[in-house]
Structure 1
Amino acid sequence: MANSISDLEKQGKFSSGEAEVEVEAGIDDVKTNGLDREEYDPHTGVKRGLKTRHISMMAIAGIIGPGLFIGIGRGLALCGPAALIIGFFIVGCMGLIMMFSIGELNTLYDFNFNTHAEKWVDPAFGATVGWYYVILWICNVIQEYVSFTNILTFYTDVVPIWGWFLIFWFVFTLYQQLGVEAFGEAEYVLALTKLVFITAFYVFAIIYAAGGIKGRSPGNPFKETPFADGFKSILNSFVYAGVYMSGIESISLTVSESKNPRRAIPLAVKQTMFRILFVYFGICISYGITVPYDHPALSSENRTMKSPMTIAFTDAGWANAGYYVSTVVVITCFSSINCAIYLASRSLYNLSHEGYAPKIFQTHNKSGVPYVAIHTVHLFSFLNLLTLSGSGAKVYAYMVNISGVCTFIVWSAICFTHIRFRKGWLKQGHTLAELPYIAPFFPYLTYAALAVGIILMLVQGWSCFDPWSAPDFVDMYILLPLFPVFYYGYKYYFKTKYISYEDMDFETGKRFTGEQVEMLKIQDQNEKKKPLFHRMTHIFS
């Protein structure tokens, strides 16, 4: 590097003293030693309105949907509490390592992960990953509407399910036009609310399992019924873990709409550990200590009543617990549906800007809202009405399976892209000191995560073999052979080439020079000297 930290200090460009180099965690209209950030992304035209606290809270609890309160009940019945924890642990480790990759890639460049795949692997590869991500979130939009409309019928059956859907379809359509600042603020409040609900249930679960409610006890499900079907239970758990953890990678899509991605992205990566431990492990443990997997209510026809949370409250003596849980799920759905529409539309919008989707999806209004992409992905939500037929449960299961395999494919692609990026970076003579964020224990963890991802893709649909089910086989595995079809189709049509390490372009789109990275690292050092409470204020300021 041209200048060391001490050299830069001697030149008077800045001092390492806190008085002269100070970065307040809550400040997002970033003017960091001249590293200004424009209000609108010059490449895509979207508005940079997401603050660090928005992205931080989205990383912690943003994409938590109704599945974690209701859908996981089916997972508990099929797997058992111990199998759920093992499955979430394995998938969680892969997800965390994948987030390390995103941290390294997205602090240096403003691209989302499929654009990184285009630059460091092959444009056709990036386009395919991008379309798979669109598919993932369209399926999630459908799932969330199914849960949302069914839960609303718990309050009254005067309005039919399709009626609730039409009412809130227009509500969400209008809300999406408000702009990214409104989305960020709403997600911030809703994510905090979800954390409060989850924490309250944890406190209840501990008291209930410890015998704190007189005359009521759940027994010891972990000891008495740990696995529903032995090793097969663990294999079953992978799909649920993949579906409910999908979304942690979404911070990569917020980069172009973030006011300060250099601060927000590494912070969000670190908070992923909290999300995995507190939210996912916490839910699995709290359900596991309060509800046995063979509880008859888990197979209830009513979605609210088969929620493990409802079952635990009801068994503890709260007869009207269903209303509380329904309220929690409704609030959760407001957040998860908004997020799903946002992520699906932004993925489609970015693909269009890269030239791999019709140009009409690039259309946005004066506020930077890509309304054509939003309305297009939102129209797919009408497919949730298929669940009104007699095979509704089957349709919902298909959406879950597709989401799960898409998650593993996308995560594996991100890890592979990171491996290619780092190799090319070093081969061209760059050093790790030039990177604002360095993924820990590279390449060992990244290779391990890639291997786990490939294994999960292959084993997640094992249940279709025992007993054999051709429809389930197609649903669970069709996206694997379709990946090379997409890839080679794009490759043939656009005449793309696999990017060699020597041909990788690390200059176009790079946010920082080597000297600026040195400045930022000194700012990080000063930030670490501040009290812990001061460093945590970014979540609330």
Structure 2
Amino acid sequence: MLNITQQASHIPVEAELSSAFFSDENQRIDDVLESGLKAGLKNRMINLIALCGIIGPGVFIGMGNALASGGPVGLLVGFSIVGILIFLMMGSIGEMNAAFDQNFAILGSKYVSKGFGATIAIFYVVIWITNIISEYTSLTAALETYSSTVPTYGWYLIFWFIFTVFQCLDVSWWGEAEYILGFLKLAFLSGFYIFAIIYAAGGIKDHKPNNSFGNFPLKDGFKGIASVFYSGIEGISVIAAEARNPRKAIPTAVRSTIFRVFFVYFGLSIFYGVTVSYNDPFLTEADKVMRSPMTIAITEAGWPGSKYLVTTMIWITCFSSINSAIYFASRSLFTWSKAGFGPKIFTTVNKKGVPYVAIHSCHIFGFLSILSYSSGSTVVYSYIVSVSGVASFIVWTSISVTHLRFRKGWIAQGYSVDVLPFQAYFFPWSNYVGIFIGIVLTLVQGWSCFKPFDYKIFIDDYIMLPLFFIIWFCYDFFYFKKGIIKPMEMDFHTGKRPDLDDNVGAELDNYDASGEKADVIIHTSSSNEKLT
């Protein structure tokens, strides 16, 4: 007979071979959540945010640049590769976040090293701050289509005030707003797909697309493919901390990843490719809204006023993107601070459980978007917003590394994989492939700067790579004075979800020395249960 007693107060030294691992808690013991964040996000919010969160201004304008530089095949191949990486990475996030209500940076600090997690957190904050800056630029540009009488800084100040007030409301308001905006984005995208099918099939009289199915070139070879990637889907790990029912919401969101990849990435790649020619001059020479493949396709189909419809959707997606970027940046900064990686002031929350200090600290960087309208500051602005490219791939790769370490420690300490609420697909090969693709994408992100070689672009594209290792090294050896965490020293108690109590009765894959399944007595605060 093997007796096992729950110990939630310290890191286990001896293996607890029981599904009761998840059962002896009545509240979240994670220090980050005890700080006052409110779990106010409903399942329907998380599911639609997970589906539509990747539909940003980039799908309207940014993909036009990618189509021009990579051609239709480059666009499709590029998003196919990144789609595979996303699918594999989301499996890792799903397994860890269905069991622990900590984001991937905190998990990295528990299963790789404290410095590793701290560095991921910093990079993730930087990624979303640069998104705030770039999306404000897109928002003001879209609004100028309607009226040029209001100066650019005027639009910025108006919406900066709106976002400042809105972000300090209860998190459920943020969730509801993203839910409504996500529905609108999904409806518009579906409508465009229907239009593209009819248009490409010749269903609009006297109007045919400039591009045909046979004209599907790969422009600029691999250099063209290397320029079409973008990120943002991993934010579900940050949302998990404020989910009301994460055990159900997170696995559902992860399982829908493959649908999101096909619907958004593959769908737009194909329909843009068949309705707009990659060498259409409007993709590179027109004003911002007219560069959108949607605008070009609908205009050529006979509706010259389509730019106002697309502009409206760009405005909606910009509003949603800024709203999300402020949320992700502030929560990541809050987590970084609460975990002991930085100043504690960023952990301050109001009565509604909103980390307002972190929100204002991140949102203030939005003022840098004004640099894009100054001829002397345009270069500086472009450097600021482009650093997120390599940083995103580094974060994605780090998530796969963290998951490998998580599984290694989990098994080393005697826990059964069967008690995990969600298990990653194809482990461990999914992680190996994900890490390989992540490394390749990190290295080729700036591929287009090599021919001809431009040292300024090279530094801009790759500066984040050495910075990651420098910051990691400094944290581990000078700040924490600790290195890589050993599997038997990993912490599988703090942050475990109290909503997993029904796992108590699950049968466990534990065997005694004779090869027979062992009898396990589970000691909980309420009962002793025997599993055979």
Question: What is the TM-score normalised by the length of structure 1?
Answer: 0.86
For 1:152-167, what aligned pairs fall within 5 Å after superposition? 152-167=143-158
Q: 1:328 maps to which residue?
A: 313
CA–CA distance in structure 1, aligned partners of residues 2 and 328 of structure 2 = 40
- Taking only the aligned residue pairs, the percentage that are identical comes to 51
Q: 2:49 maps to which residue?
A: 58
Other structure's SS at 1:223 match: coil
Q: 1:510 maps to which residue?
A: 496
Q: Is the 2:247–2:499 Cα contact (8 Å) retained in structure 1? A: no
Q: Is the 2:108–2:116 Cα contact (8 Å) retained in structure 1? A: yes
Q: Is the 1:63–1:335 Cα contact (8 Å) retained in structure 2? A: no
CA-based RMSD of the aligned residues comes to 2.4
Q: 1:485 maps to which residue?
A: 470
Q: 1:303 maps to which residue?
A: 288
Q: 2:173 maps to which residue?
A: 182
Q: 1:162, CA displacement in angstroms?
A: 1.5
Moved more, 71-80 or 112-121: 71-80
Aligned length: 488
For 1:46-195, what aligned pairs fall within 5 Å after superposition? 46-195=37-186
Q: 1:2, CA displacement in angstroms?
A: 8.7
CA–CA distance in structure 2, aligned partners of residues 300 and 482 of structure 1 = 35
Other structure's SS at 2:408 match: helix
- For residues 209-243 of structure 1, what are the alpha-carbon distances to aligned partners after superposition, in whole Å with 9 as ceiling and x for unaligned? 10001111114445224222223222222xxx2x2
CA–CA distance in structure 2, aligned partners of residues 46 and 514 of structure 1 = 20
Q: Is the 1:44–1:350 Cα contact (8 Å) retained in structure 2? A: no
Moved more, 506-515 or 156-165: 506-515
Q: 1:512, CA displacement in angstroms?
A: 5.7
CA–CA distance in structure 1, aligned partners of residues 171 and 491 of structure 2 = 30
Q: 1:515, CA displacement in angstroms?
A: 7.0
CA–CA distance in structure 1, aligned partners of residues 377 and 265 of structure 2 = 27
- For residues 270-314 of structure 1, what are the alpha-carbon distances to aligned partners after superposition, in whole Å with 9 as ceiling and x for unaligned? 111111110111111111110011001112341111111100010
Q: Which among 202, 209, 223 is matched to residue 232 of structure 1?
A: 223
Q: 2:8 maps to which residue?
A: none
Q: Is the 2:40–2:243 Cα contact (8 Å) retained in structure 1? A: yes
- Is 1:366 paired with 2:357? no
Q: 2:484 maps to which residue?
A: 498
- For residues 2-31 of structure 1, what are the alpha-carbon distances to aligned partners after superposition, in whole Å with 9 as ceiling and x for unaligned? 99xxxxxxxxxxxxxxxxxxxxxxxxxxxx
CA–CA distance in structure 2, aligned partners of residues 204 and 513 of structure 1 = 45
Query: Which residue type is aligned with residue 127 of structure 1?
Result: A
- Is 1:427 paired with 2:431? no
CA–CA distance in structure 2, aligned partners of residues 39 and 173 of structure 1 = 31
Moved more, 465-474 or 197-206: 465-474
CA–CA distance in structure 1, aligned partners of residues 380 and 290 of structure 2 = 21
Moved more, 322-331 or 507-516: 507-516
Q: 1:441 maps to which residue?
A: 426
Relative distance call for 1:306 and 1:105 in structure 2 (3 A) is same
For 1:323-472, what aligned pairs fall within 5 Å after superposition? 323-390=308-375, 394-395=379-380, 397-472=382-457
Moved more, 34-43 or 181-190: 34-43
Q: 1:316 maps to which residue?
A: 301
Query: Which residue type is aligned with residue 371 of structure 1?
Result: Y
Relative distance call for 1:468 and 1:68 in structure 2 (3 A) is same
Q: 1:445, CA displacement in angstroms?
A: 1.1
Q: Is the 2:23–2:501 Cα contact (8 Å) retained in structure 1? A: no
CA–CA distance in structure 1, aligned partners of residues 411 and 427 of structure 2 = 13
Question: What is the TM-score normalised by the length of structure 2?
Answer: 0.88
Relative distance call for 1:42 and 1:207 in structure 2 (3 A) is closer
- For residues 29-62 of structure 1, what are the alpha-carbon distances to aligned partners after superposition, in whole Å with 9 as ceiling and x for unaligned? xxx9998667997433101100111111111002
Query: Which residue type is aligned with residue 156 of structure 2?
Result: F
5+ residue gaps, structure 1, are 4-31, 522-541
Q: 2:268 maps to which residue?
A: 283
Relative distance call for 1:68 and 1:42 in structure 2 (3 A) is closer
CA–CA distance in structure 2, aligned partners of residues 504 and 39 of structure 1 = 16
Query: Which residue type is aligned with residue 191 of structure 1?
Result: G
- Is 1:258 paired with 2:243? yes
- For residues 293-349 of structure 1, what are the alpha-carbon distances to aligned partners after superposition, in whole Å with 9 as ceiling and x for unaligned? 100111234111111110001000101001000001111111110000000000000
Moved more, 500-509 or 228-237: 228-237
CA–CA distance in structure 1, aligned partners of residues 225 and 232 of structure 2 = 22
Query: Which residue type is aligned with residue 352 of structure 2?
Result: S
Q: Is the 2:28–2:498 Cα contact (8 Å) retained in structure 1? A: no
Moved more, 193-202 or 497-506: 497-506
Q: Is the 2:28–2:34 Cα contact (8 Å) retained in structure 1? A: no
Q: Is the 2:23–2:504 Cα contact (8 Å) retained in structure 1? A: no
Q: 1:400, CA displacement in angstroms?
A: 4.8
CA–CA distance in structure 2, aligned partners of residues 92 and 352 of structure 1 = 32
CA–CA distance in structure 2, aligned partners of residues 306 and 514 of structure 1 = 49
CA–CA distance in structure 2, aligned partners of residues 447 and 82 of structure 1 = 26
Q: 1:207, CA displacement in angstroms?
A: 0.5
Other structure's SS at 2:282 match: helix
Query: Which residue type is aligned with residue 500 of structure 1?
Result: K
For 1:2-17, what aligned pairs fall within 5 Å after superposition? none
Other structure's SS at 2:40 match: coil
Relative distance call for 1:42 and 1:299 in structure 2 (3 A) is closer
CA–CA distance in structure 2, aligned partners of residues 308 and 382 of structure 1 = 29
Q: 1:517, CA displacement in angstroms?
A: 2.2
Query: Which residue type is aligned with residue 474 of structure 1?
Result: I
Other structure's SS at 2:168 match: helix
Q: 1:177, CA displacement in angstroms?
A: 1.1
CA–CA distance in structure 2, aligned partners of residues 324 and 34 of structure 1 = 54
Other structure's SS at 2:290 match: coil
Other structure's SS at 1:226 match: coil
Moved more, 383-392 or 275-284: 383-392
Q: Is the 2:349–2:356 Cα contact (8 Å) retained in structure 1? A: yes
CA–CA distance in structure 2, aligned partners of residues 134 and 256 of structure 1 = 16
Q: Is the 2:419–2:506 Cα contact (8 Å) retained in structure 1? A: no
Q: 1:511, CA displacement in angstroms?
A: 2.3
Q: Is the 2:247–2:500 Cα contact (8 Å) retained in structure 1? A: no
